[in-house]
Amino acid sequence: MIDALVGFRFVLSIGSLEMGYKSISGISRKVETHTYQEGGVNDGVHVFAKPVASEGVLTLEKGAIKGVKHPFYMPGEPIEQPLVLIVKDHLGNPAKTYTFSGCMTKSWSVSDFDASRNEVLIDKFEITYSRFIVS
């Protein structure tokens, strides 16, 4: 039986600090390609991978918490330790791990202040990463 994972049981850690988030997006891999038409070969082309030319960007959203300093408040500063995203199974055990390295906070913003709405204040972080592995 295949045990499918759900997208709402996850935690992000940096070193010994574990943090919960409302949402995390931007996990992807893609490669640009170059096609080459070889002379005399009329039934296809050759496809080659180009070097990776851009960083990945994680978008993290979290409810703002009173008096708590967050490690991603300073854009431009490298994040020395890897970020580890752990997806948990239905029993709460680690089932899949995404480890991001070469990270830096790219941006931080706060949701709009609006006295006519009754919503949680959200911190939004964009974290660049140069590499990640899935295990």
Calculate ∠ Cα 106-101-68, nearest 5°. Answer: 55
| Residue 48 and residue 12 in contact, taking contact as beta carbons nearer than 8 Å | no
What is the tens place of the pLDDT at every residue in 105-116? 999 999 999 999
How far from chain centre, in Å, is Cα 3? 23
Does 10-26+46-134 carry CATH code 2.30.110.20?
A: yes
Compute how many other C-beta atoms are within 10 angstroms of the C-beta atom of residue 105: 20
Q: What pLDDT score was predicted for residue 128?
A: 95
What confidence tier does 2 reach under pLDDT thresholds 50, 70, 90?
Answer: low
E strand residue ranges, the chain: 10-14, 17-19, 23-25, 33-36, 46-49, 56-63, 78-79, 83-88, 94-101, 103-110, 122-129, 131-134
Q: What pLDDT score was predicted for residue 1?
A: 56
Structure tokens belonging to residue 98:
């995404």
Q: What pLDDT score was predicted for residue 74?
A: 86
pTM of the complete model: 0.81
Q: What is the mean pLDDT of the chain?
A: 89
What is the tens place of the pLDDT at every residue in 54-103? 789 999 999 888 876 788 888 898 999 999 999 998 888 999 999 999 99
